[in-house]
Structure 1
Amino acid sequence: MKRLPIPGLLLAAALSCMPRAHGAPALPVVPLLIGDTLDEQGRPRPMPAVKRKVLDAVAQELGVRFEPRTYPWARAERYAIEGVGLVYGLPKTADRLRALHYSDTASHNSLWLVTRSDATFPFHRLDDLRGKTVGTVRGYSYGLEFDSARGKLFRTDEDISSRGTRLTRLMLKRVDVVLLFQPDGLSAKDLEDSIRSFMAPRLPAIGAAANTGFSVLPKPLSTDSGQFFAIARSKDDGIIDRINAALARIRKREEDARRQRTPN
């Protein structure tokens, strides 16, 4: 995909809803860099409904239409730092915070550990991964503490952002544990059920190794892992402030709706 720079002036223009000739309000398009999600053949998978809901809500508040441009995470990060455009879902690190201006939290995830059912282990802290091989997405950061322990406390097996591929490698004992994000509010049991349903049509091709089944360890590696918008600091013309204001309005409406549903 050809890389098109998005200067600050274009972002500013995109966020001012210019009327069309016949008077109807326009919906300016704002390109949005996102890490890709692939199937086992390396083909893009549809955006998860939870993520689409967040992006649609923010876009509606801003009066724009986001145009997702998906790349491997390492490339999406590079493009964001180079000032190509707005990025969503890139975790915070010290280096990124120096280069990028991040929004407030747009959504929350928990990071769960998935093992084979015959190879579960007690997990309470990062040290419990000592000596293990952890399946991760290539080019993705799982937080400063985890990244600092790579290659020291444990080794990582980095692969494409295909859940099916990484879970297959788990069944084949290429890795000891796989890291998977799950939206907040869903439990380890919810994720286990989702994995079993997702992998059911894939298990016959794996063979006898698939007879073990999957287990999600009861304690996640991290909770309340935020998802953010971000843009190169040199390209921020106020878009992050506008996104923060939009997120605040969305949260207020959700809180008001919850209060109305709660009996006095």
Structure 2
Amino acid sequence: MMKKVFRQSALCVYLLQAASAMAADLPAEIPVLIQEDPGSPNKGLPPSPIIPGIISLLTAESGLNLVIHPYPWRRAQLMAENGEGLLYGAAITPERSRVFHFTKPLDTINQWLVSSEQAPLVFRQWEDLRGKTISIISGGKYSAEFEERRDKLFAVEQNASTLANRLKMLAAKRVDAVLVPSYLGASQFEARLNCMFPDSLKWVVAGKPIDAEPMMIAVPKSAPFNSTLPVLNDAIDRLVKSRGLQKFHEMKAAGSSC
């Protein structure tokens, strides 16, 4: 009995020492690199209030001092690859898997194809995109199936810096569809787009997403941020169990018409 108590005490001491060592190695603030809103007059803003809300929940649950740093997406990726912070919202690719671990999914995000009511794009299978041109964010990487087919089955356009400009390109028929990620379902997202970007055209969201990707945080395999992975995963498990993230999305959806 005494041996068992001793082993448990020794284990507790070891875990406390390990936690203290991790805290000592981590910077006071842990940067979470995300895509900024390139259309905002005030640069350095996140593209959606959803992301700060999710990071705030994760900060409170994990005890880590997670601080959002918005950058152009290409720069955010490069900084994370260089071990300068965590990267929010990056899809798993073979290239990224060489330098990152990925947390458990925080959520699922739909990749919707948006077209106009004047020229609606029907998407049921990949073959429906043959010969089409799809507008994506600059530097965007998507599912393995999408990446395998881009520039082969369909072309991509990534020169427009804002969603508003991408929709203008769609209205001008320079592209056939705009690829936009959203937590919302098709009908909800369509209503929100038409509210946010009123136009002579009505925007139409294809009834089926090209993919529903798990939303994760890419954690550099290099020190010091690699040690945050188990802490983040434990916090995500608790948020999923308590339905904290789901309640947050329900509150945001009910609180705004756009």
TM tier, shorter chain? 0.7 to 0.9
Consecutive unaligned residues in structure 2, runs of 5 or more: 1-19, 248-258
Counterpart position of 1:182:
182
Alignment of 1:17-28 (within 5 A): 28=28
Counterpart position of 1:5:
none
Alignment of 1:92-241 (within 5 A): 92-183=92-183, 186-200=184-198, 203=199, 211-223=200-212, 225-235=213-223, 236-241=225-230
1:12 to 3, 23, 38: 23
Report how many residues are paired: 226
In the alignment, the residues of structure 1 paired with residue 45 and residue 61 of structure 2 have an alpha-carbon distance, to the nearest angstrom, of 26
Counterpart position of 1:60:
60
Shift of residue 250, structure 1, vs aligned partner: 1.0
Counterpart position of 2:243:
254
Counterpart position of 2:16:
none
Alignment of 1:75-90 (within 5 A): 75-90=75-90
Shift of residue 43, structure 1, vs aligned partner: 4.3
Calculate the aligned-residue CA RMSD, in Å. Answer: 2.5
Counterpart position of 1:243:
232
The structure-2 alpha-carbon separation of the partners of 1:167 and 1:86, relative to structure 1 and needing over 3 Å to count, comes to same
Moved over 4 A (4+): 40-47
Using the TM superposition, name which of 234-243 and 54-63 deviates more: 234-243
Identity %: 29
TM-score, structure 1 as length reference: 0.77
What's the secondary structure of 2:188's corresponding residue? helix
What's the secondary structure of 2:98's corresponding residue? helix
Shift of residue 47, structure 1, vs aligned partner: 4.5
What's the secondary structure of 2:101's corresponding residue? strand
In the alignment, the residues of structure 2 paired with residue 42 and residue 154 of structure 1 have an alpha-carbon distance, to the nearest angstrom, of 34
- Superimposed CA distance per residue, residues 151-183 of structure 1 (whole angstroms, 9 cap, x where no aligned partner): 111111103552111111111111100011110
Shift of residue 226, structure 1, vs aligned partner: 1.3
What's the secondary structure of 2:61's corresponding residue? helix
Q: Judge conservation of contact 1:99–1:233 (CA < 8 Å) in 2.
A: yes
- Superimposed CA distance per residue, residues 61-111 of structure 1 (whole angstroms, 9 cap, x where no aligned partner): 122332222222222111111111211111110111121111111121111
Alignment-mate amino acid for residue 83 of structure 1: G
Shift of residue 131, structure 1, vs aligned partner: 0.4
Counterpart position of 1:19:
none
What's the secondary structure of 2:152's corresponding residue? coil
Q: Judge conservation of contact 1:14–1:30 (CA < 8 Å) in 2.
A: no
Shift of residue 58, structure 1, vs aligned partner: 0.6
In the alignment, the residues of structure 1 paired with residue 130 and residue 42 of structure 2 have an alpha-carbon distance, to the nearest angstrom, of 31
Q: Judge conservation of contact 1:150–1:156 (CA < 8 Å) in 2.
A: yes
Q: Judge conservation of contact 1:170–1:176 (CA < 8 Å) in 2.
A: yes
Shift of residue 221, structure 1, vs aligned partner: 0.9
Alignment-mate amino acid for residue 213 of structure 1: K
In the alignment, the residues of structure 2 paired with residue 53 and residue 66 of structure 1 have an alpha-carbon distance, to the nearest angstrom, of 12
What's the secondary structure of 2:243's corresponding residue? helix
Q: Judge conservation of contact 2:73–2:138 (CA < 8 Å) in 1.
A: yes
The structure-2 alpha-carbon separation of the partners of 1:15 and 1:45, relative to structure 1 and needing over 3 Å to count, comes to closer
The structure-2 alpha-carbon separation of the partners of 1:252 and 1:35, relative to structure 1 and needing over 3 Å to count, comes to same
- Superimposed CA distance per residue, residues 110-142 of structure 1 (whole angstroms, 9 cap, x where no aligned partner): 111110111113311122111011010010101
